[in-house]
């Protein structure tokens, strides 16, 4: 009779326990994966079911419950029909549709009132495309488009015209293809493109050079600093080693017997300041403010075209100023950056009064020779004089009152010129008249 070995029995028992533990662990992992997969599937299914589809499923559940409880075969048949219709609706979402759609914005900047163009390129990738419904978000709205049938490998370029009724920054896209069943029970969206950004610039007008008709020579203001290379002649001095020989004054050198060089007064370019009043209390409505923005844009573009140094200020604080309430200095390096910044300017309850905005503009540094204050119809003469006085003596200040449809007029307000304009074209006529005077 063979005796059992105690060590062998214990080893086999441990092996069985290990196998059982591994099986239980595998079962737990499988159950977890199944649960996660089911949750993902249910979430995906819920994402494609429309509100109509949810009511549809609720009606089916109510019908089968009533049929089972009350024994109504008609109710059970209705539930089966509703369930079958829903299953058939799901087949409309199968696949990606065999198409690829791209969005192109040929010009991402356009003036307000002009038409912006959007180009859609659709390509059938692996089978004949029988027609696809597109949705193109444009700002707060959506543009719907149905593509015509496209043969396999075919490409269609379609140009859409978008009206631009108001300045601003408008996101366009992303383009979505929409697949849905005829009853509207399920709906699936596929995103094909990135979002493009359209800048709708304020309307601007070509106006005369801002240097014409004003006292100061905006090409440069002489200072007390002397230099050997500038345009404002000051005096002669004896040549020193290192001086540029181009500035030797030969006639004086011949008279004195020593080389004499010319000295000049160093000139510094003066600055133009344009201040936009952005307080709602300064305007009778949005139309006035839009005219004011167009005036600021026209002045800024003209200054940049003339090669002037221009500072454009909005009395509304910059969104990232940390709550200091300081007026915003708008980018004015190039025409595009200036007009892009004006796309975002709006009336703001947090804007500072014009007198405070003018004070910041006057104290910001640089030699301001000419200042424009652009406002609406609701500012009093006292407010305008106070704001203009912040620039101090020696600075020409022009106030532009924007009152749509009003008869243009020019008046003097304590030495400050006030232009009242009803249309943007009035600004050009008044600047021309000022230059002629």
DSSP string, 177-198: EEEE-TTSSBEEEEE-S--EEE
Is there a single domain that holds both residue 83 and residue 123?
Answer: no
Strand 187-191 and strand 176-180: the pairing is: antiparallel
Residues in a beta bridge with 103: 120
What's the CA gap between 119 and 173, in Å, rounded? 12
Domain closes at, from 238, 268, 298:
268
Domain closes at, from 237, 268, 299:
268
Is there a single domain that holds both residue 234 and residue 376?
Answer: no
Contact in structure between 410 and 419 (CB atoms under 8 Å): yes
Backbone angles phi, psi at 357, to 5 degrees: -65, -40
Q: Is residue 131 part of a domain?
A: yes
Terminal-to-terminal C-alpha distance of the chain: 135
Is there a single domain that holds both residue 428 and residue 334?
Answer: yes
Contact in structure between 282 and 354 (CB atoms under 8 Å): yes
Is there a single domain that holds both residue 180 and residue 62?
Answer: no
Which helix or strand (DSSP H or E) is residue 68 part of?
A: helix 51-70
Copy the structure tokens of residue 31.
């159950």
Copy the structure tokens of residue 420.
């009242």
The residue length of the chain stands at: 437
- Say which CATH number the domain at 133 has: 2.60.40.10
Task: State if pTM tops 0.75.
Answer: no
Model pLDDT, residue 300: 93
Q: Is residue 407 part of a domain?
A: yes
Model pLDDT, residue 280: 94
Is there a single domain that holds both residue 111 and residue 172?
Answer: yes
Q: Is residue 181 part of a domain?
A: yes
Please name the residue that has the structure tokens 């940049």: 304
Is there a single domain that holds both residue 187 and residue 253?
Answer: no
Contact in structure between 428 and 208 (CB atoms under 8 Å): yes
Is there a single domain that holds both residue 183 and residue 155?
Answer: yes
Domain with 72, as residue range(s), is: 45-94
Non-local (6+) Cβ contacts of 10 within 8 A are none
Sheet arrangement for strand 99-104 = 99-104, 116-124, 155-162
- H runs (alpha helix) in 260-373: 286-305, 335-342, 354-363
Is there a single domain that holds both residue 310 and residue 418?
Answer: yes
Non-local (6+) Cβ contacts of 393 within 8 A are none
Is there a single domain that holds both residue 166 and residue 139?
Answer: yes
Contact in structure between 309 and 365 (CB atoms under 8 Å): no
Model pLDDT, residue 227: 46
DSSP 281: G
For residue 433, the tally of other CB atoms under 10 A from its CB is: 14
Rg for the chain, CA atoms, rounded: 38
Is there a single domain that holds both residue 278 and residue 193?
Answer: no
For residue 120, the tally of other CB atoms under 10 A from its CB is: 20
Is there a single domain that holds both residue 109 and residue 69?
Answer: no
Looking at the 3D structure of the chain, how many domains does it have?
Answer: 4
Estimate to the nearest angstrom the gap between the alpha carbon of 394 and the chain centroid: 38
- Mean pLDDT per 10-residue run, the chain (437 residues)? 53 64 76 72 67 85 86 84 83 65 86 88 64 79 77 75 88 82 79 88 88 48 44 68 77 84 62 92 94 95 87 82 72 90 92 92 80 94 92 88 94 89 92 64
Residues in a beta bridge with 314: 276, 328
Model pLDDT, residue 375: 95
Model pLDDT, residue 6: 54
Which among 382, 428, 420, 378 has a CA at the least distance from the CA of 399? 420
- Say which CATH number the domain at 380 has: 3.40.50.410
Sheet arrangement for strand 368-375 = 327-330, 309-317, 271-276, 368-375, 396-402, 416-421, 409-413
Q: Is residue 210 part of a domain?
A: no
Is there a single domain that holds both residue 253 and residue 282?
Answer: no
Copy the structure tokens of residue 376.
């609406």
């Amino acid at each position: 009779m063979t005796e059992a070995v105690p060590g062998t029995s214990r080893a086999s028992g441990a092996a069985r326990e290990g196998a059982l533990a591994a099986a239980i662990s595998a079962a737990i992992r499988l159950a977890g994966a199944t649960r996660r997969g089911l949750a993902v599937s249910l979430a995906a299914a819920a994402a494609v079911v429309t509100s109509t589809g949810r009511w549809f499923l609720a009606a089916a559940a109510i019908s089968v419950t009533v049929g089972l409880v009350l024994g109504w075969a008609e109710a059970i048949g209705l539930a089966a029909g509703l369930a079958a219709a829903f299953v058939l609706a799901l087949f409309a979402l199968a696949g990606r549709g065999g198409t690829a759609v791209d969005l192109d914005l040929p010009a991402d900047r356009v003036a307000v009132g002009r038409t912006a163009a959007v180009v859609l390129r659709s390509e059938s990738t692996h089978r004949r495309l029988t027609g696809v419904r597109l949705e193109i978000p444009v700002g707060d709205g959506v543009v719907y488009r149905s593509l015509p049938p496209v043969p396999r490998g075919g490409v269609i370029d379609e140009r859409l015209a978008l009206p631009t009724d108001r300045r601003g920054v408008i996101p366009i896209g992303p383009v979505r293809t929409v697949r849905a069943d005829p009853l509207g029970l399920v709906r699936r969206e596929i995103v094909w493109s990135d979002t493009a950004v359209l800048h709708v610039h304020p309307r601007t007008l070509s106006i005369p050079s801002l240097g014409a008709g004003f006292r100061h020579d905006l090409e440069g203001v002489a200072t007390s600093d002397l230099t050997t290379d500038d345009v404002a002649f000051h005096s002669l001095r004896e040549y020193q080693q290192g001086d540029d020989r181009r500035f030797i004054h030969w006639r004086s050198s011949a008279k004195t017997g020593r080389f004499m060089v010319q000295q000049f007064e160093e000139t510094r370019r003066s600055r133009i300041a344009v201040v936009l009043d952005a307080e709602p209390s300064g305007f009778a409505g949005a139309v006035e403010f839009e005219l004011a923005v167009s005036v600021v844009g026209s002045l800024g573009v003209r200054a940049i075209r003339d090669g002037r140094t221009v500072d454009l200020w909005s009395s509304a604080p910059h969104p990232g100023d940390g709550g200091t309430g300081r007026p915003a200095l708008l980018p004015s390096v190039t025409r595009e950056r200036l007009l892009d910044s004006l796309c975002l300017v709006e009336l703001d309850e947090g804007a500072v009064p014009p007198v405070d905005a003018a004070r910041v503009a006057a104290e910001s540094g640089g030699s301001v020779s000419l200042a424009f204050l652009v406002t609406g119809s609701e500012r009093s003469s006292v407010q305008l004089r106070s704001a203009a006085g912040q620039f101090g003596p020696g600075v020409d200040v022009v106030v532009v009152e924007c009152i749509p449809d009003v008869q243009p007029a020019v008046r003097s307000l304590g030495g400050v010129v006030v232009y009242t304009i009803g249309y943007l074209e009035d600004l050009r006529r008044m600047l021309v008249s000022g230059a002629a005077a």
